[in-house]
Chain A
Amino acid sequence: MRIAIPVSDKSMQSAVCPSFGRAPYFLFYNTVTGEEEFLDNSAVASQGGAGIRAAQLIADRGTQTLITERCGENAAEVLTKAEVMIYHSIPGSVAENIDANHRNELVLLETFHKGHHGHA
């Protein structure tokens, strides 16, 4: 299974980035192989629709699970249509979040914030 997490640094000890659409990087973790891949988030420079763009990126990599602190409603729509499960991150590092996910301790993210409508 592939997990994606927005991160502030390219490290497994990094905290989960509070922003989804404008996180500088995404961690893609393969639970089967243990492979870790950090990708620059091309949406970070977007003036608007960053969440949509980031969600497209996540979906394109065949992600099944996203662990994030927050997520906008537009991004959530893209992810849901792409059949990506969105979980609420816990405080701590991404390594800790992956462990928590493995132990089924994470809860689904229920509330999605309004989009900024791309007006800069």
Chain B
Amino acid sequence: MPNNSLRVAVLSGKGGTGKTLVSVNLAYVSSPSIYVDCDVEEPNGQYFLQPDDPLSLTREVIEVLIPTIDPVICNGCRDCVEFCRFHALAFIKNRPLLFPEVCHSCGGCERVCTRGAITRSKRAIGSADNYRSDGIQVISGAMNIGESSGVPVIRHVLAISNNFPEETIVIDCPPGSACVVMESISDADFCVLVAEPTIFGAHNLRMVHELVCRSDKPFGVVLNKCQEGWNPSEDYCVDHGIPVLGRIPYDPLIGQLSSEAKLVSREYPATERFFREILSNIRKEVAK
């Protein structure tokens, strides 16, 4: 990993607060940069950051290891069935049976098999797209529908991001506060929490605030869709001494452009300064 790199993770308690808006625009104003989409159930950054050259887009299939049991070597002792905490294995009519989508790839069954009947094979669970877009290296991870966990896909896209020299890395995290979010921020130097000005927004801000506090990483808040009137999320920041990195006003034009998946800091130049200000405040906070 490059020494001067700044890894910024962008989170929100729920979707739709403007997490992707902030991520893609931060990547743009800090270019040359890397944008990593860890929202692997709904990777949307790719719509805002179109490839310079679609033909040069590389897609890597992401695989996990699952066991293959040789029915000839297997003696039916069922140690593997009993060991598996996830109950991914059964033994019926003298044959072992694996449920690949239940398997967590822990390798336990392979270890307990005294006959060496278990070897490893691969199973695809998602993919990672990799391409350049206007000075930004885009790494977009997608989990296949119905999979139980996005964690292996997230690990993979974060690993890919280490192969590029660009110094600023923006990580677009999944919404919420579950294990996939923890995984996404694991290497971050700083966390940006995006919040909207409703009681829902403040409630969800609290949840993701608790998560970042546990991670011991420095963080700040971006208030999005700010309007006249009471902003419960801003009050929350004041009450908890959380630095506000920037305020993006509610603006129908920002909404319109975003709905067309356009990069507002490029298409609507007046907004560029919001994101430059956020970036500058992030750098100040990190320097402290």
Contacts and interface: CB of A to CB of B under 8 A. Distances in A.
Q: Do chains A and B touch in the complex (CB under 8 A)?
A: yes
Interface of A: 43, 46-50, 52-53, 55-56, 59, 74, 77-78, 81-83, 114-115, 117-119
B96 to A, nearest CB: 11
A81 B102 contact: no
Identify the 6 closest CB pairs spanning chains A and B, nearest first.
A49-B87, A117-B148, A119-B148, A118-B86, A53-B87, A118-B102
27 contacts: A46-B87, A48-B87, A48-B102, A48-B148, A49-B88, A49-B102, A50-B87, A52-B99, A52-B102, A53-B87, A56-B81, A56-B92, A59-B90, A74-B102, A77-B97, A77-B99, A78-B92, A78-B97, A81-B92, A82-B93, A114-B146, A115-B99, A115-B102, A117-B147, A117-B148, A118-B87, A118-B104
Contacts of B85: 47
A72 to B, nearest CB: 10
A78 B149 contact: no
Interface string B61-103: 0000000000000000000010011111011110101010110
Nearest to A82: B92
Contacts of B95: 81
A49 B81 contact: no
B42 to A, nearest CB: 18
A58 to B, nearest CB: 11
Interface string B201-227: 000000000000000000000000000
A81 B148 CA distance: 24
A78 B90 contact: yes
B217 to A, nearest CB: 25
B101 A81 contact: no
Contacts of B93: 81-83
B92 A59 contact: yes
A10 B87 CA distance: 25
A114 B95 CA distance: 24
B97 A43 contact: no
Given A55-B90, A118-B88, 17 more contacts: A48-B148, A49-B84, A49-B86, A49-B87, A49-B88, A52-B87, A56-B81, A56-B90, A56-B91, A77-B97, A78-B97, A82-B92, A115-B99, A115-B102, A117-B147, A118-B86, A119-B148
